[in-house]
Amino acid sequence: MPVESKIPGVYPEGKKAEDPQVEDEKSVSEVRNLKEAYTLYSPLTNMPYAECEEENYNDQVRLYQKREDAETAGKELEEKGIRVTVRELKTVEVQVPVKPDRPGGEKKRLYLNQVREYLSILPILGINGVCYKPQGQDGRFLELSGLLPEDFEKKMAESGTYQPTLQLTGLYLMQEARRKKEYVDMKNLQALDEEFSSNLVRSRLYLAVLPPAGQEKSPKLNLKECQLPYLKHQNGDTFFPVFTDVWEYRKYAAQGKKNLRPIQVPFRDLSRFWVKDAKAYMLNPMGFSLPISREMIPRILEKFGVGEETSEDSKAE
């Protein structure tokens, strides 16, 4: 029986360095231990640039060992009308309270690996792979499940607070819709809109509510007594923020909105909640920012055979 070597750079007996399996194992180990890397972000969605891998149709992001390779890829995409920016992921020092319940007390030093943090959000977006490009080598597809801790994706799926399919189809839709006009494929755009809408009608969205004073931590809320926050666009338009998942909600609430509470409602019930004088709902305002007018909701529901209901199927978190 062959004995596997434990010495770095020495391959197990019977395997060669150029074997795809060995190269993948090397790449997985390398990515897991990266202290810095570079990835592509889409300014069209404020999110990682996502793409469907051509051979097996995996949904992937790109990760580069060197900035120069990421910048070259960005220029190639720009020539196709796809705007991206290069984002650096590094290891940073942070100061956190020794005792979480005493934020102003003694601090301790921790090091945050942004590469690992980046990989950990990808399941929320429906991404299942990473195209990793080491310096001077071709990119190679790596399964996301092999880069994350065991059962990480399963635990996230079981939490019930994320809707990765809705996130992913929203990303693809807005990446295409906001390309330079001369590059937009209208047939593809229509197909993406159809797929996103079919996921949307069966979704449960998060809303942010402001409880009455003194009831911020109450286990049960009377929604009729709560206030609904709104967004004010720089042009003066008002929007009602809604969210695909608790991650998107937290990004919004982190902007100094400490007393907000999330509630989850079926999309079919969304029009029951409204901010006076709002122009539209704004889905994921910190992410792909997709406006949905109130009038569109019954039309979308009718198209996919889902009726509006007046249920009490809404719950506070």
Output DSSP code: residue 6: -
Q: Which residues contact 256 (CB under 8 A, 6 or more apart)?
A: none
Query: Are 201 and 304 in contact, with CB atoms under 8 Å apart?
Result: yes
Question: pLDDT category, 14, cuts 50, 70, 90?
Answer: very low
**Both tokens of residue 54?**
């051509």
Instruction: Give residue 266's Cα distance to chain centre.
Output: 20
Query: Are 195 and 234 in contact, with CB atoms under 8 Å apart?
Result: no
Q: In 99-127, which positions are buried (b, 16+ CB within 10 angstroms) versus exposed (e)?
A: eeeeeeeeeeeeeebbbbebbeebbbbbb
91 versus 15: the higher-pLDDT residue is 91
**Both tokens of residue 196?**
């996103």
Question: Could you tell me what percent of the chain has a pLDDT over 90?
Answer: 66
Query: Are 128 and 105 in contact, with CB atoms under 8 Å apart?
Result: no
Q: What is the pLDDT of residues 218-233, one digit of tens each?
A: 878 888 888 999 999 8
Q: What is the pLDDT of residues 26-52, one digit of tens each?
A: 999 999 999 999 999 999 999 999 999
pTM of the model: 0.85
Of 281, 192, 289, the C-alpha closest to 230 is 281
Amino acid at 50: A
Average pLDDT of span 108-124: 93
The residue written with tokens 């005792």 in the block is 99
| 242, pLDDT greater than 90 | yes
Q: What is the pLDDT of residues 45-56, one digit of tens each?
A: 999 999 998 889
Query: Are 147 and 119 in contact, with CB atoms under 8 Å apart?
Result: yes
Supply the pLDDT for residue 107: 84
218 versus 62: the higher-pLDDT residue is 62
| 8, pLDDT greater than 50 | no
Range with lowest mean pLDDT among 101-115, 142-156, 238-252: 101-115
- Beta-carbon neighbour count of residue 81 at 10 Å? 15
Amino acid at 12: P
Q: Using DSSP, state whether 133 is helix, strand or coil.
A: strand
Average pLDDT of span 108-114: 87
Most confident of 11-20, 106-115, 121-130, 225-234: 121-130
The residue written with tokens 């009726």 in the block is 307
Q: Using DSSP, state whether 297 is helix, strand or coil.
A: helix
Supply the pLDDT for residue 165: 96
Query: Long-range pairs for 49-56 at CB < 8 Å and ≥24 separation?
Result: 49/77, 49/82, 49/84, 49/175, 50/125, 50/127, 50/168, 50/171, 50/172, 50/175, 52/172, 53/129, 53/131, 53/141, 56/141
Average pLDDT of span 108-120: 91
Give dist(CA 307, CA 224) in Å, integer.
Answer: 24
Residue 284, CA distances (Å) to 100, 183, 194, 250 in order: 29, 25, 19, 11
Supply the pLDDT for residue 316: 54
Q: What is the pLDDT of residues 132-149, one digit of tens each?
A: 999 999 999 999 999 999
Supply the pLDDT for residue 317: 56
Average pLDDT of span 155-169: 92
Supply the pLDDT for residue 5: 31
Supply the pLDDT for residue 3: 36
| 1, pLDDT greater than 60 | no
Range with lowest mean pLDDT among 8-17, 94-103, 124-133, 290-299: 8-17
Question: pLDDT category, 154, cuts 50, 70, 90?
Answer: confident
Mean pLDDT of the chain: 88
Q: Which residues contact 130 (CB under 8 A, 6 or more apart)?
A: 31, 60, 61, 62, 63, 119, 122, 141, 142, 144, 147
Q: In 258-271, which positions are buried (b, 16+ CB within 10 angstroms) versus exposed (e)?
A: eebbbbbbbbbbbe
Q: What is the pLDDT of residues 82-106, one digit of tens each?
A: 999 999 999 998 887 878 877 788 8
Range with lowest mean pLDDT among 46-50, 195-199, 271-275: 271-275
